[in-house]
Structure 1
Amino acid sequence: MAGDPLGRLQELLERCQVEVRGESLGSGFFVAPGYLLTCSHVAGLHAGARVEVVWRERRKQERTFEGTVRAASPAPAVRGDMWPFPDLAVVEISGRCPDHPCVWLSDVVPAFHRPLVAAGLSAVYEPLNPRRFLASLSSRGVQELSSAEGRMLVLDGEITQGMSGGPILSTVSGRVCGVVKAARLQDSAMGGLATPMRGLRALDPDVYRRVIRAHDRFHASDSAWSKMADRVAGAGEGADGLTGAEERRLLAAIAELPEAAGSHEAAFLSIASVGTQLPDWELLDRRDVFTELAARDGEADDLPDALAYAVDLARQGSSRAHDRLSDRVVRAARRLGVSHAVRQRLQQAPVRSEQSSIIARLRPSLLDRRRYHVMMWRYEGADRVVAAGGESEALSLEEAVAVLAERLPEQISVMGGVSKPGLIEFLVPREVMDEDFSNWRLWPRWSWFLLGHKQHVVLRALERHEEPELHAAWVDRWERLGAGAVGDVLSCVCGRDGQNESLLGACFDSDPGLGALALAGSPVAPQLARVYDVAVASGVPVMLWQRGSQVCARSSNAECGVPGPGTCLTNQFLAHARQALATTTVDQLPERVRELRNEAVKLQQRHHVGDRLVILWDDPGRRIPSAPLVPTDEGVTA
């Protein structure tokens, strides 16, 4: 067996295998130093649960350790039902970690009828003394099972009691591609189910990232498994033409990069060919982006997709980790004959870390302005704006708002999840500006989650986006805001006295620095509606007000003068807004407004500036795809 790479891998597979004594007796296997993977129904269903782990380092050397469950799938709602997807648990060895090998994981699901090897405990031959057991299986592909609530790997072959939680080795790639979950019928060769390795992403994201990065670092320094896997795979060529060794080194270098902002989904779509859909499995780490791109054999420029992504990561910083990744990219490119393309990409300016967002539009129907069409996009960069479904049919305002609320949670999940503050841009006409978007409750399980308190909720002026003639002044005022404090330039307007359209227009025309307004009431109110229309047409990109408020009461007998930074100093909303935004730049404004909304709730102050605070924040660089304004077919479905 010494010269047989598959035989050597099976020996290593057995050495990585452990016995887990938790909720039940089952199997597990080491995936990173000090971490093992098993089934949740074996280890336990909550983080913090204690288990006993037995590792047979050699045939006659048995060691017992205490382990702690760090992440686990929940139990089924009805006792006795099949455990829902993914039925996985991550266990960390307590105390000093033994010097053990680790399996090499693969997200690639084995093709139909591909041969597999499963490892686990079996009491078939010795009922009172379960032993390590290897079973020859084959894949029947992945199927969606309602009872398991997920896409499970279906297996042919003999799966015995005690094998749950054990690893499944692909004899084609030489990597572990799944975890044994259940037998179809005990004591038979009727096969069963396994969880594909991508199911690991359905556990706690922080635990997943910690474990998978430790896994990648281990295999960059310990090649015992990977060398045999390369031989099992034949020429050793991985997806996108990378060898196993190159892939391991790249993944290890990616695992060492410092944390950075940005959406993994946006990074994936920026590299993948146009029209590529996001993977069914959530992208939790840069590693996931790399492996998903590698599995698709893309055609970005003349570079493999995964290598192009590694280049982009390498040029985003100047740390030792970035330099190490760059070096490994260059070495792989030299062997693949794409050195010139890599050098060109490395010399480009660093990828601009532009904030991704969801842009939701409510547009009045051209056939009946009392009805509205709903459309949504994922903004991932100026050249990457992806439609999230089609435009709805013409709906009443109430129906349109309901459709928007129904669609948003899914898109927020794609862009990072509700717990990760992201930018939500509502592109709406003036009459919808007082809709209570920031207090929407979109997650029934967490009824206290308010949209504008979790996410950066901003409004944008639909009228301006549909009038190209207005764009020049809009861009100019936005650029003049620059990196200065918004509080320094914030000006109050109320529409009173001489503030008619002509006077306001003259004020804006003579002062291009008027870029941020504190409206003394809601733009839906008649007096403020005129102010809002002139401000939008004049290119003012930032406006603040308190939802539902009426025009402010006068604080003196003086008439309201022309807008400007020095006017209306005794108005309470303006004074408080200037103080709150004294050090806030225009780029920081959405986050600062979210903070003020939460401060108002925390302090329970009805007159706090954050109470019912609304922000129009209209960055002219963030555009949706242009389309001709023609009457929309009323029969288009939502």
Structure 2
Amino acid sequence: MIDGLGRGAPGGSGETRRALMDLVMAATVRIHGPEGGYVPDGPGGAFLGSGFFIAPSWVLTCAHVAMQGEGRDVTVIFETGPGSGESSVTGTVVAALPERPGGALDAGSTGFTASTGSYGSTGYSAGQDGQAGQAGPASQAGSFRTTGSWPAPDLALIRLGRPVDHACVYVTERPAAFFGGGEVFYSGWTEVGGRLKRLNGQCSVQGTLGGWADSDEQMRLGGDVLPPGVSGGPTVDVARGEVVGVLKSQLVGGMGGTSIGIERLRSLPVPAAMAGAESDDDYQAVFHAHDRYHADRHINRVGTGRTWADVQSALEAGIDRALSPQQRVNLLGRLAELPPPVSTRGLLDLLVRLPGVHSVDRYPAPRSWRDGLGALYETRGGEAALELLLRYCMSVISAERPYVTQSTVAAEEALWSWVRWVADDRLSREFRNEITLLWSAARHRTDREQRRAAPAYGDRPLDGESPFVLLELEPRGWERDSYDWRVGVARHTGEVQPVGEDSRGTPGHALPARLTASLTEAFRRCDEPDSPAVLQVAVVQSLLGLEVDCWQLSPDEPPLGVTRPVVVRRSDHEPPLTEAETRERRARWSRTMNEAMRAEIVDCDDGLRVPVATEEHLRSLAYETVPVLCRYADRPDGETTAGLARVVRGGFHIALLRRGKDRPDVVCADFHRRAADTVAEARTADQLPRKIQELRQGVRAGRTETYWSDGVALFYDDPHHPLPGSGQLLEAP
């Protein structure tokens, strides 16, 4: 790994630690309600909790703190330094993870104590008398709870309403699971004797709560009491001198609590359209501003105060690193001058193309150039670590851009100058010659235009090679309407990278909410701004009518089938195919991919429901045929299920299924006509999923000409992407 043992010194001198604490406390703020701000010497007034400046004009805190205000407006109270006096500025919550309908908690879970009105932000011990520290009747010692039970990641970003001068923390660029030591420092505010006081302390790291693939994974802390009010404050890796998380919860009846990793901010919503400016994506805007802030202050020749990089160096945090803290902050500042990656998928492709980097499967996946740098820290050590880091920089220089600005070319040249300076000082002539050739190639590609057609770091995947999201639902036969599930990212190589799973049984009505975090993460790993990934839903044949395309992952989002192509496939195991059957299926699939398709209604004749023909008859249909089951229904009966089984055994991998209540008196002529037109317009199988998505968009938009397609599902069992454990051989495209 680039970090060697991955740990810095146990901690620098007492003076250095005090300097680190000063930097943290200078950026720690109080969050108040919007009206009247606060009463400095009073009982707290509208005090909600703590937070900290993560970047110029941006505050990070817990959602259960910030969303206690009236609407989304809050007041931020801060000090610029010892004796400087307090200042206040209004702010707006621009993002909460997760968002909640209406924005605030319901009455009865507001988190204000009955006796003083001050907010018990950790919220686990407000008893019947309203005094912090008394466990309520339902409380269990040793359990973690949050006031209002705001689910993880429980983070909120506040944007200031006007410019003010303030200090900012330094945030780690790698997941909190890789903290540098066994202790973290924290800072916040609490009420003492009717007055609000600063508070700081130190906790030991006890482990984690939740698995690495869980959206609610948290760092467990112990060794100190976390009083009401400190929720939303920063947790700092003492060994490395960098913020790794946000205080979330208090341990009921005990010492310690939990902290949410900073990397959970990567799950902030991704803009649906291609970003045209840094401000189009809050995540990129915050961390670009963060990295420029620290680089500017470190290279400033006028200031005399110790910077975060100075303190990190005194902590000997960079003793095992390929770069010193000063070099790292300089590099991050230069990366922040460039436009961000086009997508998470593009960044992951860039990383795995680097020599010796086989996968980047941490959760959540990297999203920015700084995240990509952090992902390399666990890869290798020694001189090879520095070479890998510089190769990454060269890939960033030549990467495709979502947009370019007047300063993009200068930023690329500045990054190249830094790479060359480091290489000249520490690496071999052979390596220096290699990166010089890379720069020469990249410079010729830099034409001030968006580079989307041919990325410099490799060929763009063909349509059949694009990753897709695979959702597997397995009914629990002994529990009615209950499912085990798995979500993964499937690649054309046949590999499926797991993202999330649950084998404890989820009720059908709870599936959309339970799957939201895993599906959102998987989509981010696959989507391009102009090309959302396909969602393939694998279910047993009796559940092919399940309306996953109608699920909404959040109340303010359109259904899944509107935002992306959603197809269904069978997870039932088939008897082994004969060699002749295998050839026939391969031929049918190849024909639908290369020749104009045509539809064939197989279960309806002039409006009358008829049985699906025999397998022998189905095999006689042209290879480019797409069967259409007009009478499939949401919950198909035995004959309908048997009919689809005959279609599958007849060698067909694609079919249109008309779901909905089967009414014998329905006139089907228009459906038959338009289904045939749709298949013909799509022409080839690879275009049909997006054609169905367009129809679903039309239904939602109220375009009457698309109403015929309401309820249509696309059965799409791609033989080049067999389900895990199916035993099918991967076929060459």
Task: Give the TM-score normalised by structure 2.
Answer: 0.59
Report the AA paired with residue 34 of structure 1.
S
Report the AA paired with residue 492 of structure 1.
E
Determine the C-alpha separation between the residues in 2 that align with 1:554 and 1:24.
Answer: 62
Where do 5+ consecutive residues of structure 1 fail to align?
Answer: 366-372, 556-569, 630-638
Aligned counterparts, 1:424-463, within 5 A: 424-427=535-538, 432=541, 435-438=544-547, 452=561, 456-460=565-569
Aligned to 1:55, which of 76, 79, 82?
79
Instruction: Tell me the matched-pair count.
Output: 577
In structure 1, the partner of 2:206 is 141
Report the AA paired with residue 94 of structure 1.
G
- Cα distance, 1:24 vs. partner? 0.7
Moved more, 607-616 or 281-290: 281-290
In structure 1, the partner of 2:491 is 381
Q: Is the 2:266–2:366 contact (alpha carbons within 8 Å) kept by the matching residues of 1?
A: no
Aligned to 1:623, which of 719, 722, 725?
722
CA gap of 1:195–1:411, structure 2 versus 1, over 3 A, is: closer
In structure 1, the partner of 2:171 is 105
CA gap of 1:471–1:360, structure 2 versus 1, over 3 A, is: farther
1:489 aligns with 2:597: yes
CA gap of 1:474–1:218, structure 2 versus 1, over 3 A, is: farther
Aligned to 1:228, which of 310, 313, 320?
310
Determine the C-alpha separation between the residues in 1 that align with 2:155 and 2:19.
Answer: 27
Q: Is the 2:179–2:237 contact (alpha carbons within 8 Å) kept by the matching residues of 1?
A: no
1:249 aligns with 2:331: yes
Aligned to 1:24, which of 47, 65, 72?
47
CA gap of 1:270–1:451, structure 2 versus 1, over 3 A, is: farther
1:612 aligns with 2:711: yes
Determine the C-alpha separation between the residues in 2 that align with 1:476 and 1:524.
Answer: 31
In structure 2, the partner of 1:632 is none
Report the AA paired with residue 710 of structure 2.
D
1:596 aligns with 2:695: yes
Q: Secondary structure at the match of 2:24?
A: helix
| Greater relative contact order (CA < 8 Å, ≥ 6 in sequence) | 2
In structure 1, the partner of 2:4 is none
Report the AA paired with residue 576 of structure 1.
R
1:542 aligns with 2:553: no
- Cα distance, 1:615 vs. partner? 1.3
Determine the C-alpha separation between the residues in 1 that align with 2:567 and 2:360.
Answer: 27
User: What CA RMSD, in Å, does the superposition of the two structures yield over aligned residues?
Assistant: 6.0
Report the AA paired with residue 611 of structure 1.
D
Determine the C-alpha separation between the residues in 2 that align with 1:143 and 1:502.
Answer: 58
- Cα distance, 1:236 vs. partner? 2.2
Determine the C-alpha separation between the residues in 2 that align with 1:479 and 1:351.
Answer: 19
Determine the C-alpha separation between the residues in 2 that align with 1:194 and 1:390.
Answer: 23
Aligned counterparts, 1:104-183, within 5 A: 104-106=170-172, 107-108=175-176, 114=182, 116-120=184-188, 135=200, 137-142=202-207, 144=209, 151-156=218-223, 165-179=232-246
Percent identical residues = 20
Q: For each residue in 1:230-279, what CA deviation from the matched residue of structure 2 results, as whole angstroms up to 9, or x when unmatched?
A: 4134262576x454434763586377325337498999999999999955
Determine the C-alpha separation between the residues in 2 that align with 1:192 and 1:308.
Answer: 42
CA gap of 1:177–1:490, structure 2 versus 1, over 3 A, is: same
Determine the C-alpha separation between the residues in 1 that align with 2:510 and 2:197.
Answer: 57
Q: For each residue in 1:347-400, what CA deviation from the matched residue of structure 2 results, as whole angstroms up to 9, or x when unmatched?
A: 64356671321153779x9xxxxxxx988562431232246899999xxxx999
Determine the C-alpha separation between the residues in 1 that align with 2:502 and 2:154.
Answer: 38
In structure 1, the partner of 2:673 is 575
Q: Secondary structure at the match of 1:212?
A: helix
Determine the C-alpha separation between the residues in 1 that align with 2:96 and 2:516.
Answer: 24
Q: Is the 1:490–1:518 contact (alpha carbons within 8 Å) kept by the matching residues of 2?
A: no
CA gap of 1:62–1:235, structure 2 versus 1, over 3 A, is: closer
In structure 2, the partner of 1:423 is 534
Report the AA paired with residue 331 of structure 2.
R
CA gap of 1:209–1:347, structure 2 versus 1, over 3 A, is: closer
1:37 aligns with 2:60: yes
Q: Is the 2:499–2:521 contact (alpha carbons within 8 Å) kept by the matching residues of 1?
A: no
Determine the C-alpha separation between the residues in 1 that align with 2:252 and 2:566.
Answer: 52
Q: For each residue in 1:188-216, what CA deviation from the matched residue of structure 2 results, as whole angstroms up to 9, or x when unmatched?
A: xx964463443753985465554334323
Determine the C-alpha separation between the residues in 2 that align with 1:333 and 1:434.
Answer: 58
- Cα distance, 1:502 vs. partner? 5.5
CA gap of 1:428–1:341, structure 2 versus 1, over 3 A, is: farther
Q: Is the 1:268–1:289 contact (alpha carbons within 8 Å) kept by the matching residues of 2?
A: no
- Cα distance, 1:92 vs. partner? 1.7
Q: Secondary structure at the match of 1:101?
A: coil
Report the AA paired with residue 691 of structure 2.
R
1:198 aligns with 2:262: yes
Report the AA paired with residue 547 of structure 2.
S
Q: For each residue in 1:457-484, what CA deviation from the matched residue of structure 2 results, as whole angstroms up to 9, or x when unmatched?
A: 3233667895373455545554555588
Q: Secondary structure at the match of 2:80?
A: strand
CA gap of 1:481–1:603, structure 2 versus 1, over 3 A, is: same
Task: Give the TM-score normalised by structure 1.
Answer: 0.66
- Cα distance, 1:527 vs. partner? 9.7
Q: Is the 2:222–2:255 contact (alpha carbons within 8 Å) kept by the matching residues of 1?
A: yes
In structure 1, the partner of 2:24 is 13
Determine the C-alpha separation between the residues in 1 that align with 2:513 and 2:248.
Answer: 34
Where do 5+ consecutive residues of structure 2 fail to align?
Answer: 1-11, 34-45, 98-103, 112-122, 125-145, 211-215, 271-281, 300-306, 439-454, 478-482, 729-733
Determine the C-alpha separation between the residues in 2 that align with 1:391 and 1:24.
Answer: 39
Determine the C-alpha separation between the residues in 1 that align with 2:716 and 2:724.
Answer: 19
